[in-house]
Structure 1
Amino acid sequence: MNENFKNEVHKGLSSNPKSLPSKYFYDKKGDALFVEIMNLPEYYLTRSELEIFQNKTQELIDSIGVQTDSYFELIELGAGDGTKTKELLRELDKQNYNFDYFPIDISSNALKLLEQDLNTQIPNLRVQTRQGDYFEVLASLKNSKQPKVVLFLGSNIGNMQDQMAFKFIYNLGANLQPGDKILLGVDLIKAKEIVLPAYNDKKGITAKFNLNLLDRINKELGANFNLNHFEHQPEYTEKEGIAKSCIVSTTNQTVEINATGNSYTFAEGEKIHTEISRKYNDQLIENIIANTNFSIQTKILDSKAYFADYILKRD
């Protein structure tokens, strides 16, 4: 049994308001559902950043400031299926850059599939997968003292509250040397009509993805959530710039979880907060990286200016 999973579920469901960590979305079924989400017409985020990686690949390479005759480590946090990164990897390989690619992910299944895919598509690429916590892996890589470029794409930083995002960037800096870079992909603040459908698609795939978290608790922790008594509910206000995902109880009910030895009561309409997706602008990024020893070098936009890849340099 995953003790961290058990403990964090108990803590989240015992709190008021209730919450569950979004990192536990990603079991084997969750991985597959998220791949479906990324291909949905409403989910502009992946397409927007993929456009940058496809159409502005050379600009990305120039911005991260690597040289063909100098070795560097390309480290990706939360690599997933690597769809966007492959565009960059192909071009770096084509131009004979000297580097190793270190994909880091919490999902060993995602890493295994990614490595198999890369071995087929880019056979000359040196891939060193690392499964586990970002900072534990980074700490193990820190001793190499080699120049590093860290990719943190997909607006994954948007899943954190601003103070947590600041700490995250600060901790990244603690594992990097002056001159190292972060390529930070973020979703930009936009109208509700564009953002909200990305988290509430017509096919209901996002709802299945969110509710799969309860199914995972059932399977791994011996709970008795009835998924028919819960609904997916997304929220977004342009002024706040934060999209939220919740699971809402549709009735008064009690759920038991064998692993924790506890029962948890839910009122009709009560929410379990599962995820935030922060949207950004230049000022918000500046606020988050203040006092982190990073500075913005440049930013690269997609054609609709929905999404930005910021290049941050460790001072």
Structure 2
Amino acid sequence: GSGFSRKTRHLFDACAALGVSARYLPFDVSAETLMEAGARLTRDYEWLRVHALVGDYLAGLGHVSPPAGPGLVVFLGSTIGNFEHRQALGFLREVQALAGAQGWLLLGADRVKAPHVLHAAYNDARGYTARFNRNVLRVINRELGADFDPDAFHHYAPYDPARMQIDMYLVGARAQRIRFGALDRVLAMGEGEPIHTEVSRKFTREGLESLLGEAGFAVEQHHEPDDARYSLILARSDPVRRNAEIPSSGDDP
């Protein structure tokens, strides 16, 4: 989500320099974070109108009112890579509909790299990614009254060059039974049994531009560093380019 909107401040600084006011709709699952961020933003940018939205952007975009004029949807970082192709296409089409016929999208994405580089990033020696991965079990314990033992799972994150995708798993180190108090259910897991926790897709330049075209966007600017490790794309809404059908999950590349 938008978090504390630190990166978005660069856009507000540009608006201030141009003498342009704006309405900002930050989207995040944390109401507390949104309230704190909104208070700081309206203090620092008195002309800024903030309408915070609590929810999941996969399900919540339908509750956002389209702007009266051309809008800009900002989706930075590389979260688009956490969607399967069908999900990403559906999400971007919702964004295109929200932005409107004259709207814009600013999209960040991670690019394909050498397999050893990606392996080192998702299996770092200090164990940051492993702790991040296991944290999902702590969240489930808290929200569903479960009794997962995070230390009873190994972090496993292989990269598949053919699919240009990292798949993250938690693999049971031993046989165990997990209780879910909120669901009144018990899950039996065997030693070596995996839980698939996340996908992280990587993109080529051509693949990103093709995806945006399918979703109804035309790329206006495509920025990348000299090593092409990531992309920052400014695209305008172009409904004529949008295909009529979203492929089934079996058609995902």
What TM-score comes out, normalization by structure 1 length?
0.69
**What SS does structure 1 have at the residue aligned with 2:174?**
coil
Show the counterpart of 1:181: 104
Which residue, 251, 265, 272 being the options, matches 2:188? 265
Q: In the alignment, is the contact (CA less than 8 A) between 2:73 and 2:99 conserved in 1? A: no
**What SS does structure 1 have at the residue aligned with 2:69?**
coil
Residue deviations 1:36-74 (CA, integer Å, cap 9, x gap): xxxxxxxxxxxxxxxxxxxxxxxxxxxxxxxxxxxxxxx
Task: Give the whole-Å Cα distance in 1 for the aligned partners of 2:81 and 2:91.
Answer: 11
Task: Give the whole-Å Cα distance in 2 for the aligned partners of 1:88 and 1:202.
Answer: 36
Show the counterpart of 1:163: 86
Q: In the alignment, is the contact (CA less than 8 A) between 1:93 and 1:125 conserved in 2? A: no
Show the counterpart of 1:207: 130
Which residue, 177, 180, 199 being the options, matches 1:254? 177
Q: In the alignment, is the contact (CA less than 8 A) between 2:180 and 2:186 conserved in 1? A: yes
User: Equivalences for 1:28-107 in 2 at 5 Å?
Assistant: 78-107=1-30
Identity of aligned residues (%): 31
Residue deviations 1:274-295 (CA, integer Å, cap 9, x gap): 1111111132224423443222
What is the identity, as a one-letter code, of the residue corresponding to 1:156? T
Which residue, 216, 219, 224 being the options, matches 2:142? 219
Following TM superposition, by how much is the alpha carbon of 1:310 offset from its aligned partner in structure 2, in angstroms?
1.3
Show the counterpart of 1:280: 203
Show the counterpart of 1:23: none
Task: Give the whole-Å Cα distance in 2 for the aligned partners of 1:162 and 1:228.
Answer: 32
**Greater RCO between the two (CA within 8 Å, min separation 6)?**
1
Task: Give the whole-Å Cα distance in 2 for the aligned partners of 1:112 and 1:245.
Answer: 32
- Equivalent pairs, count: 237
Show the counterpart of 2:115: 192
User: Equivalences for 1:9-20 in 2 at 5 Å?
Assistant: none
Higher helix share: 1
Task: Give the whole-Å Cα distance in 2 for the aligned partners of 1:256 and 1:280.
Answer: 39
Structure 1, unaligned stretches of length 5 or more? 1-77
Show the counterpart of 1:299: 222
| 1:279–1:101 distance in 2 versus 1, CA, 3 Å | same
Following TM superposition, by how much is the alpha carbon of 1:136 offset from its aligned partner in structure 2, in angstroms?
3.5
Q: In the alignment, is the contact (CA less than 8 A) between 1:190 and 1:238 conserved in 2? A: no
Residue deviations 1:151-206 (CA, integer Å, cap 9, x gap): 01111110001111111112222223212011111011111232233323333232
| 1:123–1:304 distance in 2 versus 1, CA, 3 Å | farther
What is the identity, as a one-letter code, of the residue corresponding to 1:174? A
What is the identity, as a one-letter code, of the residue corresponding to 2:64? S
What TM-score comes out, normalization by structure 2 length?
0.84
Q: In the alignment, is the contact (CA less than 8 A) between 1:145 and 1:177 conserved in 2? A: no
Task: Give the whole-Å Cα distance in 1 for the aligned partners of 2:215 and 2:143.
Answer: 38
| 1:209–1:171 distance in 2 versus 1, CA, 3 Å | same
